[in-house]
Structure 1
Amino acid sequence: MSKAEKRSSARLAAVQALYQMELSGSGVVDATIEFERFWNGKEIEGLSFKPVEETFFRSIIEGVVREQKTVDRRIDEALAKGWPLKRIETVLRAILRAAAFELLFRKDVPPRVTITEYVDVTRAFYDEDEPGLVNAVLDTLARSDRAEELAARN
């Protein structure tokens, strides 16, 4: 598997871990241990879980927890008035948090890559309006924080 494929898998796994952490109240250490022991690169009940770039996976979940106040505030600012993050469904909230963390704090990843990757993650869970919502929120954040990079043509 290429590094890009492992990072894509890490993003999906981070969203799943953040979702599980929110539902169970578990912390980063427990989520990381569970993922590495039971999910990473394993097949469970006929489902294959692709290997991830573990450092990138940890960076996302640790970063979301560490920077959650900033991440949540910035997502709230990008969402439509009257729809704060706390009103968003749990999986979608995990997607937005992981993506916003990456856009705001992982300057080593081009913003277009982050947006595309998390819209794709959203499509793994939803097939209606949610990918468009994620795209719009992330585009707003990227235009605010990384406008020069978006303006540059790759």
Structure 2
Amino acid sequence: MTTDTSHNLSGNQRRKLRSAARFFAVQALFQMETTGQTSESVTAEFTHYRFGEEFEDFDMAEADAGLFRALVTDAVNWQAKIDQMTDRALVAKWPIARIDPTLRALFRAAGAEMLEHDTPPKVVITEFVIVAEAFFPETKEPKFVNAVLDHMAREAKPEAF
């Protein structure tokens, strides 16, 4: 679903589309890193085939395609800056290159939203902690994500705290 039709949706429906876009952005960034695909090919694949995909016993969500594309593009364009912010939020023994590639993709998508969008930092943190819970259920990673993103948000938008 594109953002062009989102004006006809309720606030809750728009929120769900934006949440799905964040989840898909993490998947797309992970896929790009592991397969070497370009952002153009991955965003095309996701918007044409993944959004709303139906399986035998599960349907993928629709997503805010505009936010999805923006997060992937901004994460690629600002990757060095985002990775440096992430490195500063991590302990010295764990540079970004050593962390799980899913977490790396998550930090890049969240960092892109913090740097390039007007979303309040606390919303970005909450949304991406929920994404972390989806990828890492019943583990400590969501708490780790919360701590790293809080540090990144205070650096990116100190005026919000």
Which bracket does the TM-score occupy, shorter chain normalised?
Answer: over 0.9
Backbone CA RMSD of aligned residues: 1.2
How many residues end up aligned between the 2 structures? Answer: 149
Measured against aligned partners, the alpha-carbon deviations of 1:79-113 in whole angstroms (never above 9, x if no partner) come to: 0111000000111111111111111221x101110
Give 1:145 deviation, angstroms: 2.5
Q: Does 1:84 align with 2:56?
A: no
User: Which residue matches 2:64?
Assistant: 53
Residue equivalent to 1:103: 114
Instruction: Write the distance in 2 (CA, Å) between the matches of 1:71 and 1:148.
Output: 18
1:117 aligned partner: 127
The percentage of aligned residue pairs carrying the same residue is 41
Q: Give the superposition deviation at 1:135.
A: 0.5
SS in 1 for 2:93: coil
**SS of residue paired to 1:21:** helix
CA deviation profile, 1:41-73 (whole Å, cap 9, x unmatched): 121343311111100000000011111111111
Q: TM-score normalized by structure 2?
A: 0.88
- Distance in 1, Cα, partners of 2:49 & 2:156: 37
CA distance in structure 2 between the aligned counterparts of 1:44 and 1:14, rounded to whole angstroms: 20
Runs of at least 4 residues of structure 1 off by over 6 A?
Answer: none
Give the aligned partner of residue 43 of structure 2.
Answer: 32
Residue number among 83, 89, 105 corresponding to 1:72 in the alignment: 83
Alpha-carbon separation, structure 2, partners of 1:136 and 1:105:
21
Pair 1:138-2:149 in alignment: yes
In structure 1, list runs of 5 or more residues that go unmatched.
Answer: none
Give the aligned residue type for 2:63.
V
